[in-house]
Structure 1
Amino acid sequence: MIALLLRDLRLATRAGGGFGLGLGFFLILCALIPFGTGPDTDVLASIAPGILWVGALLACLLSLDRIFALDFEDGSLDLIATSPIPLECAVIAKAAAHWLTSGLPLIVAAPLFGVLLQMPAAANGWLVLSLLIGTPALSLLGAFGAALTVGLRRGGLLLSLLVLPLYVPTLIFGAEATRRGAAGMDASTPLVFLAAITLLTVALIPFAAAAAIRINLR
């Protein structure tokens, strides 16, 4: 399982592996929003939590099709499915690799991008905490969508359509936690719901994704 994780990390960090693509998209989005809304700092500060969470969500989408598609094309997925490692553990390893190369860089860079949106400094800690709790669920749900569409030609659009509705609860509670933190309010309730969603995906998604992979490999 660790070997599979390290393999995916090496593939993601090589040229053309997609590492940094989501981070670049996140930066471009945060840089363009002020041009669309105008220079009003109050408006930017009020929408910053939602924009940052939407940006993180969309940035995660960019590399979801790489989770299983490349392994399916070169036959590695068949070897993984027949290896002694349970397929559920392989799903967790590949989702973890996606989070480490896509979600974690976004978490580190989010406070810096918040400056572009005039987000209050008091919200930085809540933003990082909410992303740290919520983004693993995005990678796991993305792995489930990638498992459903593996083997389909041009399945990237279908993958986005399948995954985006599943992302909505995480987006709602993540943005609400950041907004409450920026306003000096108690953000514990949305954070608890966010953690519950993540724990639920950790408990259920590996089994659902493994079953989808087995069906597509038949």
Structure 2
Amino acid sequence: MTDATSPTPSEAFALLLAGNQRFVAGTPQHPNQDAARRAETAPGQRPFAVLFGCSDSRLAAEIIFDRGLGDLFVVRTAGHVAGAEVLGSIEYGVSVLDSPLVVVLGHDSCGAVAATRAALTDGLGSTTGYVRDVIERVTPSVLAARAAGLSGDDEIIDEHIRHTVALLLDRSRALADQVTAGRTAVVGMSYQLADGSARLVTARGLPAEMAASGPGGVTPHL
């Protein structure tokens, strides 16, 4: 959004859900992808959401949420692992660009989670380079899932999404303050590769009734 009026966190979440529903139904509108939008956003940007997702090539944010230029401020890493650069980018989107929504987007069949589970079983000896760093950052989520008695792939991935949301709010005082003040919400979602739907896993800063009626009919951990 380039005007002075930003949507509320709830309105931003609704925009995101509506776009994903169009994508799933095969009726995308491809909004804000024309020359007029390009000219409109050239002087500045006011994205309505910060999208922090996995780098998986099948998670192209503007496509799966049917959005266009200037709508989403996208940050992506393998396994949506968060370091200082990621935290700084998210804080920029929230504090400087005034985005009212932060989305942590994981997905089923996540390679980073699968590699971490294998490493915990077989050891890290065969893992080299910076891939090992990604695995080490996903490890606390997998261990927490095991401690909670979770063993299914989707359960462990959901735990990693919840862990990432908690980590962002714990490490970024700026983001936590925005959520406390009601200016920003942080949600965790899991994308399903086969049908294209994005399911709500956890939400901080959304009205309880909106979060509880998230997509997929699943009541998230609030």
TM-score, length-normalised on structure 2? Answer: 0.33
User: Higher helix share goes to which structure?
Assistant: 1
Greater relative contact order (CA < 8 Å, ≥ 6 in sequence)? 1
TM-score, length-normalised on structure 1? Answer: 0.33
